[in-house]
Structures are given as C-alpha cells and as structure tokens.
Amino acid sequence: MWQKIKNIYHLLNAILANLFYGFPSRSLIVIGVTGTDGKTTTVSLIHHILVNTGKNSSMISTVGASVEGSLEDIGFHVTTPSSWMIQRLLKRITKVKEKGKQYVVLEVTSHALDQYRIWGIDFEIGVLTNVTNEHLDYHRTYENYLKIKTKLLRASKVAVINKDDKSYGYINEVLGGGKTLEYSFSDSADLSIKSLKVNNPALEKFNLYNVLAAALACHKLGIEIKEIEKALESFILPKGRQEVVFEGRFRVMIDFAHTPNSFEKILSSVNVEGGRIIHVFGCAGKRDAVKRPVMGGISAKYADIIILTAEDPRTEKVEDIISDISSGMEIVDNKPEVFKISDRKDAIATAVKMAQEGDFILITGKGHEKSMNIGGREISWSDEEAVNEALRLRSE
C-alpha cells in the first residue's frame, strides 16, 4: 500500500517533468531495453550499431549517459534516472545540432516501470532480454515482476522479445503477438543465430542473446543485416562487463554479474586450462535475500576457491549476508575451498596473493561502479583499483 502511494508521487513528478520539458521524446526515436540481465550490454550494442551505421544516437544506461559522444555519470547505483533527469536529458538531445533523426537508447528497470519514471516517453521499440527471479524483495512474486516488465512492451509500438526465455508464453499472450518480433537460437523466429554472423570474440559466448536482441531492434529501424554484422566486429563491451583487468601468469576479470542467471552464464563460460577458478563475490544488503543461497550454490558448482565478501551491504551485517550465501553451497571433498573476508579490499588482495600460474580470478557484483554502500552511506570504491593495488603489493 505504501509503495502504491509513493508511486502516485512518482507519477505526478513524471507528468510535471514531461510538461516542463515539453514531452521531448515525441521528436525522438526512443528504444527502451528491459530485462533481468543483459540490459546494459544490449543498450550499448544498439547504440554502437546505430552510431556505426551513420545514425545520430544517444544512450542512457547504468554506465552513464552518452550524448554527442561523451559519457557522463548519472549517479551512484542508478540504471534508470529520475523522471526529471530523463526528461532533461531527452530535451538536451533534441537540441543536438546534427542533421537527420535523433535516436535514444534507454535502459529501463522494473523499478522505473513500476514507479512511472518513464511515463510520457514515446517508445518506438521496446526490447526484452529475459526475465528470471530477481528483485522479489520489491515485487514479491515472479508473476508481479513479469507483469511490470510488460509495461514497457505494451507502451512501445513494436516489442522485441526472446522466444527462448521462460517469460515468452506470458509475454506473447499479453501482447497478443500482433506487434511482436521474436529472436531465438532456433529457426522459428524473426531472427535466429543462424541468420547472423558474429565475428567478435567478446560476443561469441556469453552475449549472443543480447546480440540477437540488438540486431533485431536495429533491423526493424531499417538497418541491413550486413551493416549490423560489420558494426558488431568493432564492439567493445561496456565498462565492468567481462573486463579483464590483468593478464599475466594468471588472469583477473571483473564483471557486474549479480543474479543467479548471470552467475550461471559467466561461470560456465570461464575457460581455465590447468588452473583454478577463484571467485570473489558477495550479495547486496537490503535486497532480495532469497537469491543468496542460490548464487552460493552456482558458484560452488564451478569455482575451486570462493572468497565471500561485502557488496553494498547497506545496513545489514556483512557476516549475515555471507552466512546466507554459504548456506546454499555444496562442499564435496573440501571443494570448493571457501574463505569469508568481510572487507572487499582484503578479499581481493587475498585472491591476488594466492593466485598461481594459470589461475582465473573472477570478481563479480560491482563491475563499473565507483562506490559501495556500507552502513547506509556511499564510500568511494573501484574493483579495478583494488586489483591494481593488490597486484602492486604482490610484486613488492
């Protein structure tokens, strides 16, 4: 009930913001991307394809707002900004002095949908990556979460959906199939993996569904498949997504993965020959606690060594979060070996210190983020900087 009252407040703000800035989206071509995982990469892919095929494109996502080629920060732990910031950015984009149509690719969270932050935006295309169990602390049930996700698709002229995702049946029923375009690994879709050549190592394993979603959306906008394939060749993953920050006797990768689905995908894709997988991670405090043991179980399935640590604990005790995670781990013959180090800096330093020839250190949960919420306040933080400091100490 309280959330519904707050949402009325958010709706009023969205209406006022649209009126104040003159409904700027009406003169733009807006592509919205939602889903549990892959939103940021898909947004970046669409933006990259548009730019590399001569279109005037801007982007608003977790990693920042890209207007006229420069990436700007939109705040701590922000994916979809407030309605006032969104409308201000859209208004600014309408004033960009370039000839031709102006495209905007916007990352849209379930919270933003539920809180009417995107009210008034005229979406040309709505893209859905996938819907898995997430944010149940807020939405309570998967069904509620899924229903909220459909708000973007229903508000869009065209919906691009994943035919292979478990959400497909419900989504297709809600939308009636009339305005949907489907992507899939199979042939029975508007775009399949067999119809698209992906010549980019960064995209060939973990990101193929994101590539299909982006390619189908761009094809709907009138871009030929051959042009899309060419643009994909030069794509670089967003900051903090499968980012290898050190490669020597061992490798260190940081990634934003923080859901069971993203854990399964990234851990199963790690290729280690003769070395060990050392996984450093935690779970956010005051967020969906149900997923914690599930993520612990997934990590235990793949990692040889696990170091559990802090990841935006907020006002929860890190030790309690770690206990929740470890409760889902199955330890067989003392594998994986599990360490519990509450301080994230110390946890990363421990991983780097213990790494041997051929090992692969995977640090998940923070990715590109530049702060961590501890005790309810933001402190400056960077996984990459922590890795660099740990490497320096190791070399001394």
Q: Are residues 212 and 282 in the same domain?
A: no
Q: Are residues 162 and 259 in the same domain?
A: no
| Domain annotation covers residue 252 | yes
Q: Residue 255 belongs to what H/E stretch?
A: strand 251-255
Look at residue 256 and tell me whether its pLDDT is greater than 80. Answer: yes
Please write the tens of the pLDDT for every residue from 367-378. 999 999 999 999
Would you state the pLDDT for residue 137?
66
Look at residue 283 and tell me whether its pLDDT is greater than 90. Answer: yes
Would you state the pLDDT for residue 178?
75
Task: Give dist(CA 243, CA 279) in Å, integer.
Answer: 15
Q: How confident is the model at residue 293 (pLDDT cuts 50, 70, 90)?
A: very high
Q: How confident is the model at residue 73 (pLDDT cuts 50, 70, 90)?
A: confident
Q: How confident is the model at residue 260 (pLDDT cuts 50, 70, 90)?
A: very high
Tokens, residue 257: 């993965």
Q: Are residues 198 and 270 in the same domain?
A: no
Would you state the pLDDT for residue 121?
98
Count helices and strands (H / E) in the chain.
Answer: 14, 17
Look at residue 44 and tell me whether its pLDDT is greater than 60. Answer: yes
Task: Give dist(CA 163, CA 308) in Å, integer.
Answer: 35
Please write the tens of the pLDDT for every residue from 137-151. 676 788 898 999 999
Domain count, the chain: 2
Q: Are residues 140 and 274 in the same domain?
A: no
Would you state the pLDDT for residue 358?
96
Share of the chain above pLDDT 70, in %: 97
| Domain annotation covers residue 83 | yes
Q: How confident is the model at residue 78 (pLDDT cuts 50, 70, 90)?
A: low
**Residue 59 belongs to a domain with what CATH number?**
3.40.1190.10
348, with CB counted inside 10 A (0-12, 13-18, 19+), is buried
Arithmetic mean of pLDDT, 373-391: 97
Q: How confident is the model at residue 271 (pLDDT cuts 50, 70, 90)?
A: confident
Angle at 303 (CA atoms; ends 298, 309), nearest 5 degrees: 80
Choosing from 205, 232, 259, the residue where a domain stops is 232
| Domain annotation covers residue 238 | no
Q: Are residues 172 and 286 in the same domain?
A: no
Look at residue 76 and tell me whether its pLDDT is greater than 60. Answer: no
What residues make up the domain containing 193? 2-232
| Domain annotation covers residue 73 | yes
Would you state the pLDDT for residue 69?
77
> 278, 305 in Cβ contact below 8 A?
yes
Q: Are residues 260 and 117 in the same domain?
A: no
| Domain annotation covers residue 105 | yes
Q: Are residues 209 and 275 in the same domain?
A: no
Look at residue 207 and tell me whether its pLDDT is greater than 70. Answer: yes
Q: Are residues 47 and 102 in the same domain?
A: yes
Report the chain's mean pLDDT, rounded to a whole number: 93
Tokens 């608003």 belong to 60
Look at residue 126 and tell me whether its pLDDT is greater than 90. Answer: yes
- Phi/psi for 293 (5° steps) reads -65, -30
Q: Are residues 117 and 204 in the same domain?
A: yes
Q: Are residues 48 and 78 in the same domain?
A: yes
Q: Which of 290, 359, 292 is nearest to 325 (CA)?
A: 292
Task: Give dist(CA 34, CA 151) in Å, integer.
Answer: 10
For 275, the 3-state DSSP assignment is coil
Please write the tens of the pLDDT for every residue from 340-367. 999 999 999 999 999 999 999 999 999 9
Q: Are residues 223 and 303 in the same domain?
A: no
Arithmetic mean of pLDDT, 92-97: 88
Would you state the pLDDT for residue 4?
78
Listing DSSP states for 47-107 in one string gives HHHHHHTT-EEEEEETTEEEETTEEE---TT-SS--HHHHHHHHHHHHT---SS-EEEEEE
Choosing from 173, 199, 232, the residue where a domain stops is 232
| Domain annotation covers residue 6 | yes
Give the pTM. 0.91
What percent of the residues of the chain are helix, what percent strand, and what percent coil, each to the nearest 5?
Answer: 40, 20, 40
Arithmetic mean of pLDDT, 14-43: 97
Q: Are residues 209 and 254 in the same domain?
A: no
**Residue 257 belongs to a domain with what CATH number?**
3.90.190.20
| Domain annotation covers residue 237 | no
Choosing from 232, 261, 290, the residue where a domain stops is 232
